[in-house]
Amino acid sequence: MAANPAPSRDRLTIRKPDDWHIHLRDGAMMRAVLPYTAAQFARGIIMPNLVPPVTTVDAAAAYRERILSALPPGVSFAPMMTCYLTDATSPDEIERGFAEKVWIAAKLYPAGATTNSHAGVTDLANIAAVLERMERIGMPLLIHGEVTDQDVDIFDREAVFMEQKLLPLLTRHQGLKVTVEHATTAEILDVVRAHAERVAATITPHHLVINRTHIFQGGLRPHLYCLPVAKRERHRLALRKAATSGEDCFFLGTDTAPHPVGAKESACGCAGVFCGPTALQTYIQVFDEEGALDRFEAFASLNGARFHGLAPNAETITLERRAGQVASCVAVDDTSVVVFRGDETLPWSVAEG
């Protein structure tokens, strides 16, 4: 965190934000975590990496209905669905889902890159026709930007993806809109800036707060392990600078990713940070520390909507400088999910009422 926070206001009202990267899972897990996202965000892009993955228009429409049915009474939240790309994805299915407004974008998981990604794309050449169709119809591509080669150091996988995959893709498909999700390095931020007319990046709350050392402080901290993994301190500082810069190619995407506590605290723990309940409190703390509260609404509520061609939300939300704490975990059936920063007293809270 910044050592010398600049003086700032104690209360901030902004248009209700959108979360451009959410994992809600399904079933009991979805019912447990959805209320936390819906309390802070008006809309959200829903990740399709269920088991089995959401690869068809009908599956996406059914998943959307399950999400809407799981909302608490009186709570409004608009899920925006995505297509999980595979080597066998049909360009016609892609276009149908986009034309029928079932899908807002398609998600590229390199096969094996992260949770439930083994059905993902093994070679970009296999989806060349899909990308050409998306480019033609104006459908955005959301990218988990890491290579999966086992001989590439885990801390270098985003950089290698950028050089070997992303830059050639942008050259081949010069009309394709691309979001680099959960950016973690200074270099990827520079690529986004260089192509800002059609490329954007989402930035998570946890990558603004932790670097790779935090994962090992005092012992292994599995609930801070995510993919892409947190990088060196210089990258964290670059992410903070980008998020708070006012540049409209950067916007909010929490990548909130719940896993049962036993799946995190195991011999081979899952990647994912569950930050839904503390997302806005963390983001605004960072903007406050960087002296950029006047730029928070753009990052949280305007830039992502503009990139996707949507109007900003009319509803507002207020955050206030009031110390608060959320529960350290969320119960799910006979287990629980650990909340990012749920054991901390946070300097900002979401105003009640």
Query: Residue 1 has what pLDDT?
Result: 43
Query: Residue 335 has what pLDDT?
Result: 98
With bands split at pLDDT 50, 70 and 90, how would you rate the model's confidence at 8?
low
Q: Phi-psi bin for 315: left (phi > 0), alpha (psi -120 to 50), beta?
A: beta
SS3 content of the chain, % helix, strand, coil (to 5): 40, 20, 45
Any catalytic annotation for residue 255? yes
Out of 10, 149, 190, 255, the active site residue is 255
Query: pTM of the prediction?
Result: 0.96
Percent of the chain residues past pLDDT 70, beyond the cut:
97
The annotated binding site is made up of 21, 23-25, 49, 107, 144, 182, 227, 255, 259, 271
Beta strand 329-332 with 335-338 is: antiparallel
Give the model confidence (pLDDT) of 191-221 as tens digits.
Answer: 999 999 999 999 999 999 999 999 999 999 9
Separation CA 248–CA 173 (nearest Å): 22
11-350, superfamily in CATH?
Metal-dependent hydrolases (3.20.20.140)
Mean pLDDT, residues 156-174 taken together: 96
Gyration radius of the chain's alpha carbons: 19
* C-alpha torsion angle, residues 230, 232, 234, 236 (rounded to 10): 20
* Residue in the block written with tokens 């276009």: 95
The annotated binding site for substrate is made up of 23-25, 49, 144, 227, 259, 271
pLDDT at 4 over 80: no
pLDDT at 346 over 90: yes
List alpha helices for the chain, DSSP H.
27-40, 57-70, 91-99, 128-137, 157-161, 167-172, 186-194, 205-209, 233-243, 261-264, 279-289, 296-297, 303-307
At residue 73, what is the residue type?
A: P
Are 261 and 308 spatial neighbours (Cβ–Cβ below 8 Å)?
no
Structure tokens at 50: 């269920």
